[in-house]
Amino acid sequence: MRFAAGGLEVGGVNKEGKLYALLATARIANVPSVVSNLSVGVLLGSLGTGEGFSWPWTLMIAAVLFYVSGNFLNDWADREWDVQHRPERALPRGLFGSRFYLGFACAGIAVGMILAALHGWRAGVVSAALVGFIVLYTKVHKQAAWSVIPMGLCRACLPVLGYVAMRGSVAGAVIFSAVGLLVYIVALSLSARWESKADAEGKQHMSRSLLVLAGLIPALLPMTVMPLVGLIGVIAFFLWMGLCVTKYRSPVPAHVSALLAGIPLVDWVTLLPMALIWMQLERVEAFDSMFSIAVFLPPAAFLFGRMLQRVAPAT
């Protein structure tokens, strides 16, 4: 962070400029976690393809478009509220017109749905459900406490989308990851609300219990195959959660940013042990594309997301 002639710079980007405003609106720091979430479904759905596996780039673009467009839609819907509560955002500052934000959101969602539909009508249905949850969350998130549910369902749809696109159907294998993400997003939201409040000890215990549950649910899939190997994936997750509720407990923005960075570690709970299990069962070879993505993508997304938080805020 440094001062430049045009204003404060964060990660080399002028904090007063339009580029920073767009990156902040897009929540660019959270985009790597979107790719990681999608990868769980893609890999589980691709098991057995062997050398025929190829990464679905168009589906990844669709997933990123859904996320980024949803954020633009959210800021467009919050434009009047932000005037009083988040005046640093782009629309209250007049850097862009509200029509631009709405148009970008609608265009991004439309393109995302087209790209998802290229992977089959079932992928199109899942993407439509995801968009529905985005719209529902945008409509109610300032009015209802239960808005954390549609927000979590948006994340939960990503591994399902990846699985359906590659396999053409939904199976129990991907449900563990989807439910784990749903619980994690709910826990993240509750933890952000209560963790730094001294008078909310009981609610802090509830949010922390949900964080633990969010790490255990995705571990159920590998544990049903090889119990001891299945526990490997939870190590990094619980180490980071420990830091989130100690070192990064306060201030609230630091706590929320740490939890957001940890989203890919939920995916690693499943993918790391499954990669080792697949290799032992000779379903994949060491360091082939599927093995490498499973082992290295989630931690890379975690680190990259943490780095991008220095460029633009994650919330």
Q: What letter does residue 14 receive in the DSSP assignment? A: E
Backbone torsion region of residue 286, taken as left when φ is above 0, otherwise alpha when ψ lies between -120 and 50, otherwise beta: beta
Average pLDDT, integer, range 103-120? 98
- Per cent of the chain over pLDDT 90 is 76
How big is the chain by its Cα radius of gyration, in Å? 19
Closest residue by Cα to residue 212 from 235, 241, 244 = 241
pLDDT at 3 (0 to 100) = 34
Residue 190 in tokens: 């509750």
Average pLDDT, integer, range 205-232? 94
Return d(Cα 160, Cα 44) in angstroms, integer. Answer: 10
Alpha helices in the chain (DSSP H): 18-26, 31-46, 57-77, 79-85, 90-93, 98-117, 121-140, 148-167, 172-194, 201-216, 220-225, 227-230, 234-244, 252-261, 263-280, 289-308
Model pLDDT for residues 46-56, shown as the tens digit of each residue: 986 556 789 99
Residue 198, pLDDT > 70, answer no
Model pLDDT for residues 236-259, shown as the tens digit of each residue: 999 999 999 999 988 989 999 999
Cβ-proximal residues to 18 (8 Å cutoff; 6+ apart), any chain? 90, 95, 96
| Mean of all residue pLDDT scores within the chain | 91
Q: Whole-angstrom distance between the N-terminal and C-terminal Cα of the chain?
A: 18
- The confidence band for 203, taking pLDDT boundaries of 50, 70 and 90, is confident
In this structure, which topology does domain 1-170 adopt according to CATH?
A: Tetracycline Repressor; domain 2 (1.10.357)
Domain boundaries, the chain: 1-170, 184-302
Residue 9, pLDDT > 90, answer no
Residue 274, pLDDT > 90, answer yes
The pTM is what? Answer: 0.93
